[in-house]
Amino acid sequence: MKAKGGEELRAYALEKPEPLVCFALCSGSSSDPAVRVYTAKNVYQELEVAKEEYLQASIGIRKENKILLPRVLEGFSREASLSLSKLVDVACQSLPEAQRNAVRKCSQNKPHKSIEWLPYNFSFRYIFSRELARWTPPLIP
């Protein structure tokens, strides 16, 4: 359905896809990233931090042969046009060394057979970042 005043809406559209936005969108589901406040000045750095924190909390290993990946990464890989092996490499860059080594060990032979996508959990839950929990809105006179 076409929106009326489409030209006015274009002023708010992204000129090119930004895959990191996948780590900023929260609809209140348990599988979603934490709710954060982003600033125009540092938005890319803040999106990188959101990605790293989300991946560190969401990626797991099962029985040392399966890499458990959240569905948010599936959308990210489509937006960024990443193959599965490249997606694993990108995800590894955000992980602590021990977790990174375990993921690389699992995926070294056949990454497509070592990946297990975690089901999306639609149950309601908002997670707020620490910065947001400490943030207080400015007083309006």
Domain boundaries, the chain: 15-133
pTM across the whole model: 0.77
63: number of CA atoms within 13 Å, CB side? Answer: 5
pLDDT in tens, 14-70: 677 789 999 998 888 889 998 888 888 889 999 999 999 999 999 998 887 899 999
Query: At CB < 8 A and 24+ separation, what contacts does 8-13 make?
Result: none
Q: What is the pLDDT of residue 9?
A: 62
Mean pLDDT score across all residues of the chain: 84
C-alpha separations of 4 from 1, 7, 12, 42 in Å: 9, 9, 14, 32
More confident residue, 79 or 125: 79
Is residue 94 over pLDDT 80?
A: yes
Band of the pLDDT at 1, cuts 50, 70, 90? very low
Percent residues over pLDDT 70 in the chain = 82
- The residues that bridge with 68 in the sheet, in sequence order, are 60, 116
Q: Find which of 10-24, 83-97, 123-137 is predicted with most confidence, using mean pLDDT.
A: 83-97
